[in-house]
Amino acid sequence: MARIESSIDPRSGDFVQKARDYERLSSELDLNLDWALAGGGPKMVERHTKRGKILVRDRIDLLIDDGSAFLELSPLAGIGLYDNQVPAAGIVTGIGVIRGVTCMIIANDATVKGGSFFKETVRKHIRAQDIAEENRLPVVYLVDCGGANLNNLEDVFPDQEHFGGTFYRQCRMSASGIPQLAVVFGECTAGGAYIPALSDEFVMVEGNASIHLGGPQIVRAAISEVVDRNDLGGAQLHSCVSGVSDHMAPDELTAIARLRDMVGSLNYPQPFGGDIKPPRPPAYDIAEIPGIIGTDLSVPFDQREIIARLVDGSEFHEFKPLYGETLVCGFAHIEGFPVGIIANNGVLFSDSTLKGTHFIELCDQRGIPILFLQNTTGFMVGSEAERSGISKNSAKLVYAVSNTRVPRYTLVTGGSYGAGNYGMSGRGFRPRFMFMWPNARLGGMNPDVGASVLMDLRRASISKHPASEEELQEHERKLRAMFDEKSTPYYCTARLWDDGIIHPQDSRRVLALCLATGAMRPEQRAHRPVYRM
């Protein structure tokens, strides 16, 4: 396979300046990740540990196999919301290997508002379940949950994508043969009680764990019964009397070890499928990507330079290189896993959309997953574009993306605007995973175009709503600021429009983990749901 020949000079002034500019974005991302890792803050962490409880990410480190990776998803969910008081939306989700089995892990962070569920918490929980179902990953719940946040019930309770949707998915996955396992570390009340109750098998930690549909306060208010938490639903009661719990552990370390044994007894092989080859490093340094892309989205870069630093040996079999040149398509491997790559090198014209559609059909026929590298202002507009059939041809690309049977993965390397986001497998088209770089932007229009459109409308209404030129300039400034703010990667990731912001130099490792997850082919067997007795 031909190797991409890079034209980048890492010693050039332009490269060095872009790399320096990008350091600011990288430092900002690291600071924001520190915010997420800090949980509910020093006081809540101290109270948590004084109860003999282990912090949520330390629990995960103890649970997964030594030396294995944990791909945390959406760590910056909730950033900028609720006065930044709900780091990571109060829940940690991600993919890890337990006793050799790749699992989805969903873990409440009790240091953040007692592990209660906000709107973004529910979205993050559901997103993790959807990934697990699509990739047939066993789901492990580390439960330390106060149930739904009572101040936001309208955002978490009644709708199909709210709290009840998590239980629905749990039941459906169990019935389809995807194992559901849990450990209860702390309080598990109201709706939260259904997480372990709907699991196939679970363990409770003596002393701290409790399960009850209504906590002591609710019981007292509803039926005037006064009862403490342990007598109402502690580990001793549910393990020895009610039979709700399957195991009781004296401490968290024992509970985690028991959970590892539960995963080890699943009989759940996950063989890989596809043309998997021995992995090879790229011929060029992935750490050079910041110096290639910089921070100014108005300055184009060649996606081939990115591909050369992502794929094995920098080898890339490009498809139709002389046609539809604003879309780069071709075949490669990442850490040994085969992948078809579709990358924007500018606006999408009719010829590039037809090329992309053809390439998707090739990948679909050959069973090769597709990686989309987004950097586009969208589909071309104007009379000439319409005469060339852009509306019809862009629809073909959207149709192909929607109906391909192979896994799709999306990485936003620059801009992702308008219907170009759709045609390049944006979130609305349900890629298996979607990540953004710190320089990326995502929106219905780029800030310049969006502000210009609204300013034209404002100027057209001058007769009805008079304004001075100074007022119009201030209005335009606010419009641009609004569009810019709502297209930042942090605005997007806070609302779960992606699966996380990642450093460019981490992209190869992250994409390899995603491709490996999608390449697994668990055995399909006839199943029936587990009804707890």
pLDDT, tens only, 301-344: 999 999 999 999 999 999 999 999 999 999 999 999 999 999 99
Is the predicted pLDDT of residue 526 greater than 70, yes or no? no
Q: How many CB atoms lie within 10 A of CB 335?
A: 21
Out of 182-196, 210-224, 492-506, pick the least confident: 210-224
Question: With 90 as the cut, is the pLDDT of residue 396 above it?
Answer: yes
Q: Which residues pair with 200 in a beta bridge?
A: none
- 397 pLDDT band, cuts 50/70/90, is very high
pLDDT at position 468: 77
- Please tell me the predicted confidence (pLDDT) of residue 376: 94
Asked if residue 23 lies in contact with residue 438, where contact means CB atoms within 8 angstroms, the answer is: no
- The pairing of beta strand 327-334 with beta strand 337-344: antiparallel
Burial class (CB in 10 A: 0-12, 13-18, 19+), 164: middle
pLDDT at 523 over 80: no
**Could you give the percent of the chain with pLDDT greater than 90?**
78
13: pLDDT strictly greater than 70: yes
At position 48, the amino acid (one-letter code) is H
Strands 370-376 and 101-108: unpaired
What residues contact residue 335 under an 8 Å CB cut-off, 6+ apart? 279, 312, 508, 509, 512, 515, 516
Where is pLDDT greater, at 463 or 287? 287
Of the listed ranges 203-207, 346-350, 442-446, 465-469, the least confidently predicted one is 465-469
pLDDT at 510 over 90: yes
- Give the pLDDT band (50/70/90) at residue 218: confident
CB 442, CB 402: distance < 8 Å = no
pLDDT of residue 213: 82
pLDDT score of 527 = 63
Mean residue pLDDT of the chain comes to 93
> pLDDT confidence of 83, banded at 50, 70, 90?
very high
Residue 533 has pLDDT above 70, yes or no: no
pLDDT at position 354 is 98
pLDDT digits (tens, 9 = 90+) for 233-273: 899 999 999 999 999 999 999 999 999 999 999 999 999 99
Question: What's the rounded mean pLDDT across residues 48-61?
Answer: 97
Residue 431 tokens read as 């890629």
In whole angstroms, give the CA distance from residue 18 to residue 414.
14
> pLDDT exceeding 70 applies to what percent of the chain?
98
- Taking alpha carbons only, the member of 3, 5, 19 closest to residue 503 is 19
Section 107-123 average pLDDT? 94
What's the confidence (pLDDT) of residue 346?
93
